[in-house]
């Protein structure tokens, strides 16, 4: 499982010129599942994201979590995170999880985040989406989760 976390001031996602998700301060997550991912992986990822301290405290130190600031998450499924670009100029996506299972995991991942009391807005799985955001910092973290552990 691969996730790109971007700290944002605000963000929204549109499908066919219609806004389908919008947040103010929080995270934009780009979420990709690969073959072999398990429930433990998305649960670990959600727990890590809920607790990771990427927001400034009163001293300007990144010491507050998304829960601490009552922020929100815009979660975007992105199978291209499973790309393998080692050979040639055209990436291979053979490592990406099969779409039906990936969608089930994506929905369960978002529900696990909501279980932490976080407001989660979503894009539309497998849709052509336009994501707009205002990066804050910028602060961007890449999480790789395998066998229920951050690697």
81-97: pLDDT as tens digits: 999 999 999 999 999 99
Two tokens, residue 130? 């336009």
pLDDT at 115: 98
Residue 82 CA to chain centroid, in angstroms? 14
39-61: pLDDT as tens digits: 999 999 999 999 999 999 999 99
Low-confidence ranges of the chain (pLDDT < 50): none
Q: Read off the pTM.
A: 0.95
Instruction: List the domain boundaries for the chain.
Output: 2-150
> To which H or E segment does residue 129 belong?
strand 129-146
Cβ atoms of residues 66 and 119 within 8 Å = no
| Active site members | 78-80
CA 151 to CA 149: how far, in whole Å? 6
2-150, what's its fold?
3.50.80
């Amino acid at each position: 499982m691969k996730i790109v976390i971007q700290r944002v001031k605000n963000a929204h996602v549109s499908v066919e010129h219609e806004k389908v998700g919008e947040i103010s301060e929080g995270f934009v997550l780009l979420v990709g599942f690969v073959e072999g991912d398990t429930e433990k992986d998305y649960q670990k990822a959600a727990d890590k994201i809920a607790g990771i301290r990427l927001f400034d405290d009163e001293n300007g130190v990144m010491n507050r979590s998304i829960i601490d600031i009552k922020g929100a998450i815009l979660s975007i499924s992105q199978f291209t995170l499973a790309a393998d670009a080692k050979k040639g100029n055209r990436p291979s996506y053979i490592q990406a999880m099969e779409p039906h299972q990936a969608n089930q995991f994506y929905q369960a991942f978002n529900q696990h985040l909501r279980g932490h009391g976080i407001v989660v807005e979503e894009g539309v799985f497998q849709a052509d989406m336009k994501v707009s955001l205002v990066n804050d910092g910028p602060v961007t973290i890449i999480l790789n989760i395998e066998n229920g552990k951050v690697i």
